[in-house]
Structure 1
Amino acid sequence: MKQRGFTTIELLVVLVVLCTGAWLFFSQKASIDASARDSERKVAINAMYYSLEEDFYEKNGFYPSTIDSKILRSIDPALFTDPRGHKPGEGAAEYHYAPIDCSLEGRCKAYRLYADMEREAEYSKDSRQK
């Protein structure tokens, strides 16, 4: 008499194939998500950079000693919050603004703007004026 159904070996093979497929899917998804967050960081740094250069510096003739949405009004305030929820100047922030050669009044001659990336080297922009 022949029994119907699958053998234990057949079930194990199917289980191994499904687990391998799930592992591949989730590892690729994590990689794609990290690349997307890195792209968000680049967009934010570029927006801050162009706002500093083409708006703030053109109007004032100097760079600020700090940046936030009140100083750089020409960009979306949400861009100041990194993918992990921190703003420049906070301890765990991924966006960094380093002013260079500042006076006591907070007028700076240059700056370095950079972001910590997950899958790439640090992404940075330096001021046009040195």
Structure 2
Amino acid sequence: MSKRAFTIVELIITITIMGVLMILAVVSINATQVRARDDERKTDIEAIATALESYYNVGDDSASQYNRYPSTALASSESSIRSYLRDINMQSVMAPGEETISLVAATNSTQTTTGISPQPTYSQYVYQPINSAGSRCTSGECRKYNLYYRLETDNTVYKYTSKNQ
């Protein structure tokens, strides 16, 4: 009577193949999660831009304040965002995985993805209102804006520009 069993070589080969398949599955899941977070960032920026365009067209509570964008005061607090962008879903101003507001105001007038300050991170969006002179708009009539965000897939900063220039 002969007993049938697996040899040690067969077991090692099987375990090795299973290990390789597990590694491939984990890498694939991580890449999918990164793409999903980047898609959420793009959706957030589009939602913020839509709310800013609505503010431009309708204005705030005083009927005389329209055809302009909010100043840097927009990004000062959650209550400011709610005041200026009344229709926005607050999740749109929170980067993926964040529980606090991720929208910050630019501190300079440089309108390039490499020169903007602060540089956006994966968990931070930068709002840069610009006045008619091309400077950072801290009050008054802001004629246009730029939104900056960074994607994880290529670690690149992107710029979204207002419709009205």
**So what's the TM-score if we normalise by structure 1?**
0.85
1:21-40 equivalent positions in 2, closer than 5 A: 21-40=21-40
Contact 2:51-2:88 at 8 Å conserved across structures: yes
How much does 1:122 deviate?
A: 3.0
SS of corresponding position for 1:33: helix
Q: In structure 1, how many angstroms separate the alpha carbons of the residues matched to 2:158 and 2:37?
A: 13
Runs of 5+ consecutive residues of structure 1 not aligned to the other structure: none
Matched, 1:62 2:68: yes
Deviations, residues 34-59 of structure 1 (Å, cap 9, x unaligned): 00111101111011111111x10012
Q: For this pair of structures, how many residues does the alignment match?
A: 129
Structure 2 partner of 1:15:
15
How much does 1:104 deviate?
A: 5.4
Runs of 5+ consecutive residues of structure 2 not aligned to the other structure: 59-65, 76-80, 106-117
How much does 1:73 deviate?
A: 1.5
> Identity percentage over the alignment?
29
| Closer, same or farther: CA 74–111 of 1 in aligned 2, 3 Å | same
Matched, 1:94 2:128: no
Give the CA RMSD over aligned residues.
2.2
SS of corresponding position for 2:82: coil
